[in-house]
Amino acid sequence: MTTTTETPVGDDRLRLLENLMADTRLDAETARRPLSPVPAHLLPAPDEGPLTALPAPASPRVELDDALFARTSVREYATTPLTGAELSALLAAADRMDARGWPGERAAGLDLEFYLAAWRVTGVDTGLYRYLPGESALRRVADIPDGPEAEELVMQREFARSAAVLVITGNLAGALTRHGSHGHRLLLTRAGAAGHAAWLTAVRLRLVGTVFAGLLPHVLRERAGADGYHRAALFAFAAGHPAPESTA
Ligand SMILES: Cc1cc2nc3c(=O)[nH]c(=O)nc-3n(C[C@H](O)[C@H](O)[C@H](O)COP(=O)(O)O)c2cc1C
């Protein structure tokens, strides 16, 4: 059997307790200090940018069978701009692929997002945009450099010479919560399907390009709040007209 004996609180212990309480008060006081601002790159992407309406998607000019045989990676581009209708077709194809393939994920709030770095698209100023599929429009998110300075945005400089780069992002945090580690694989599969849908659509419009995953994380983090977890860049597609030497 155990007995508890009460130890009388001596002066030393009292002083120790008082000091501890003083520390606690100090801690509470410091907690009231002015809060640090959250850096812009950890905030959600701005959603107030001006909208650019897109025309109806351009119709394919090449049969799918022929496009499948013609599809090959092209990394050199002419300076000819894409039309708004061509761009609209690429974006709509990427979104449609995901909507048809993974409706359950989207119903759960886990949409893919489509960002566009546009350099040469008729009717679309140079800039970074988020595609709004429901409105068939682009929301301007940030400025981006043009010309040689655009090469800072990409790991391979040739992609900065494309007419536009589509970057597909997904909510990794949400996908992992919903599916466990399978969520990451699922996001990559969805982004791959959407990127290739955009690519085949480009080929059917006699455009060229390549899919790629070599993205610089800081570029979208600083401009679109892509923290790599709640919004993670997954895959990309660079599009343009073929450079004269690659048309032969
Ligand atoms: C997941 C993935 C990542 C890729 N990353 C890059 C890349 O960072 N840079 C690049 O030039 N191409 C990249 N590619 C494109 C491939 O190198 C290759 O060009 C493409 O798969 C098509 O090959 P093909 O033209 O021989 O059919 C990537 C492709 C895939 C599927």
Among the residue ranges 20-24, 30-34, 53-57, 109-113, the one predicted with the least confidence is 30-34
Which pLDDT belongs to residue 245? 74
Quote the ligand 1 centre to 211 CA distance (angstroms): 6
CA separation for the pair 50, 137 (Å, rounded): 10
CA separation for the pair 69, 23 (Å, rounded): 73
Mean pLDDT estimate for the chain? 89
Q: Give the chain's domains with CATH numbers.
A: 51-246 (3.40.109.10)
Q: With a 6 A CB cut-off, is 162 part of the ligand 1 pocket?
A: no
CA separation for the pair 79, 67 (Å, rounded): 22
Quote the ligand 1 centre to 221 CA distance (angstroms): 23
Strand order in the sheet with 137-142: 51-53, 137-142, 127-132, 113-118, 164-170, 232-240, 208-212
Percent above pLDDT 70 for the chain? 87
Kindly tell me if the per-residue pLDDT of 6 is higher than 50: yes
CA separation for the pair 26, 191 (Å, rounded): 50
Closest-CA residue, ligand 1 atom 9, reads 212
The more confident residue out of 195 and 47 is: 195
**pLDDT tens-digit map of 93-110:** 999 999 999 999 999 999
Quote the ligand 1 centre to 150 CA distance (angstroms): 21
Q: Kindly state the average pLDDT of the residues 51-80.
A: 95
